[in-house]
């Protein structure tokens, strides 16, 4: 059976993979929740949910700096990656000795396709229909959008463009991303920030760990905006974490 991953790369699955390595935290969580169990052999140091992953699985480096030799030593028959979170260089190197299935996720539909696709490939009994229904309800809530600036980094300040999963989650929760027309993760100097005029500023807990002390700093830049710390995992982790994201969105917004 030849299947395409989300980047269009074709992989021949003549048999169900039994030795899997995951290079993406949110996808590792999904695989664990979906029941991959002992077939999941290796994960990155950032794969911290569930907690058992960091104890029971071999750690093969970070998402951007994986240890190729550690992966090779595990003799995997499938490595699961992501186009954005992992480097093309690493993916191409791993393909020399093992098939690599790569996701490319910019919205909830892509996330559902990732979960459905991996469930088929790995023969996991995981149904996304309930999650799809709940997200459809979220989309039809009819809330009047408010302008928000979502910051992921400090010194320099970095936000998120309209072609990102985070931006789509903001849209679904009733916010218009003030950086919608920018690509990927734009760097913003002080003058660029002042031009945005958001009514809300969200300070993400990751990758930069914004804290309470940074709220006043941003209030000085945006005195008329509401500045709030938010849980970055709820906006950026695709997979089974999206179930918790729904609860978080309903509670916080």
33 pLDDT tier (thresholds 50, 70, 90): very high
What domains appear along the chain, each with residue ranges and CATH number? 2-127 (3.40.50.1980), 141-252 (3.40.50.1980)
139 pLDDT tier (thresholds 50, 70, 90): confident
- Rounded to an integer, the average pLDDT of 30-36 is 98
Task: Decide the pairing of beta strands 58-59 and 226-230.
Answer: unpaired
pLDDT attached to residue 144: 83
Spell out where the chain has E strands: 2-4, 10-12, 20-22, 40-43, 58-59, 78-82, 100-103, 146-151, 157-158, 175-177, 187-188, 200-204, 226-230
Res 73 pLDDT > 80:
yes
pLDDT attached to residue 253: 85
Stated pTM of the model: 0.94
- C-alpha to C-alpha distances, 102 to 1, 118, 137, nearest whole angstrom: 17, 10, 29
Q: How far apart are the first and last CA of the chain?
A: 44
Phi first, then psi: give them for residue 226, nearest 5 degrees: -90, 120
pLDDT attached to residue 137: 85
Residues with Cβ within 8 Å of 103's Cβ and at least 6 positions away in sequence, in order, are 5, 6, 24, 27, 80, 81, 82, 83, 110, 114
Find tokens 């695989």 and name the residue: 31
Res 207 pLDDT > 70:
yes
DSSP codes joined into one string, 196-225? H--SEEEEESSSS---THHHHHHHHH-TTS
Kindly report each contact of residues 34-43 with a partner whose C-beta sits within 8 Å and lies 24 or more positions away, as own/partner: 34/115, 34/118, 34/119, 34/122, 34/124, 34/125, 34/126, 34/240, 35/124, 35/125, 35/126, 36/122, 36/124, 39/122, 41/74, 41/76, 42/70, 42/71, 42/74, 42/76
Burial code (b: 16+ CB inside 10 Å, e: under 16) for 4-34 equals ebbeeeebebeeebebbbbbbbbbbbbbbbb
pLDDT attached to residue 195: 94
- Rounded to an integer, the average pLDDT of 138-158 is 89
Res 42 pLDDT > 80:
yes
């Amino acid at each position: 059976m030849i299947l395409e991953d989300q980047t269009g790369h074709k992989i021949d699955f003549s048999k169900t993979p039994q030795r899997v390595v995951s290079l993406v935290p949110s996808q590792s969580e999904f695989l664990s929740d979906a029941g991959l169990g002992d077939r999941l052999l290796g994960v990155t140091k950032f794969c911290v949910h569930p907690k058992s992953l960091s104890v029971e699985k071999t750690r093969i480096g970070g998402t951007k700096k994986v240890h190729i030799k550690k992966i090779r030593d595990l003799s995997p028959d499938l490595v699961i990656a992501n186009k954005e979170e992992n480097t093309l260089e690493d993916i191409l190197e791993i393909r020399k000795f093992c098939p690599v299935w790569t996701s490319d996720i910019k919205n909830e539909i892509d996330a559902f396709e990732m979960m459905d696709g991996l469930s088929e490939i790995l023969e996991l009994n995981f149904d996304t229909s309930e999650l799809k229904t709940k997200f459809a309800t979220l989309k039809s809530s009819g809330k009047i959008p408010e302008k928000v600036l979502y910051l992921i980094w400090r010194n320099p300040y970095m936000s998120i463009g309209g072609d990102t999963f985070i931006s789509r989650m903001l849209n679904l929760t009733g916010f218009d991303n003030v950086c919608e027309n920018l690509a990927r993760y734009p760097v913003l100097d002080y003058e660029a920030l002042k031009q945005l005029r958001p009514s809300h500023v969200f300070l993400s807990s990751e990758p930069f760990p914004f804290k309470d002390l940074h709220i006043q700093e941003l209030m000085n830049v945006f005195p008329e905006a509401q500045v709030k710390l938010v849980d970055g995992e709820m906006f950026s982790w695709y997979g089974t974490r999206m179930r918790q994201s729904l609860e978080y969105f309903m509670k916080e917004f």
